[in-house]
Amino acid sequence: MRILITLLFSVCLLAGYGQTIKSPDGNLSLTFTLLDEGIPAYDLTYKQKSVIKTSKLGLETQNVPSFVKGFTVTK
């Protein structure tokens, strides 16, 4: 599970303001976006029907700044 979260979070950082990844057959579509205040989010569709509606990504941590908002795209 940690690997999946890390992968999703990493792809989101590289995704820009609206990057979509599709399965080889085109049925699954995973879209990453940055919402207001730089909050990373994703949604998942299957055959153009929503499976996971727009959901925020991030990590709340103790004793260090959280990884919830303030992300930007530099290139």
- The boundaries of the domain holding residue 46 are 2-56
pLDDT value for 8: 55
Q: Is residue 13 part of a domain?
A: yes
Could you tell me if residue 75 is inside a domain?
no
43 in a domain, yes or no? yes
Q: Is 11 helix (H, G, I), strand (E, B) or coil?
A: helix
* Torsion 33-43-41-21 (CA) sign: negative
Asked, for residue 73, whether it belongs to a domain, the answer is: no
Is the per-residue pLDDT at 1 higher than 60?
Answer: no
Predicted model pTM? 0.65
At 49, which helix (H) or strand (E)? Answer: strand 49-56
Looking at residue 31, its pLDDT comes to 95
Total number of domains in the chain = 1
Whether 16 maps to a domain, the answer reads: yes
Handedness of CA 59, 60, 61, 65 (dihedral sign): positive
Each residue's pLDDT tens digit, 14-32: 444 578 999 999 999 999 9
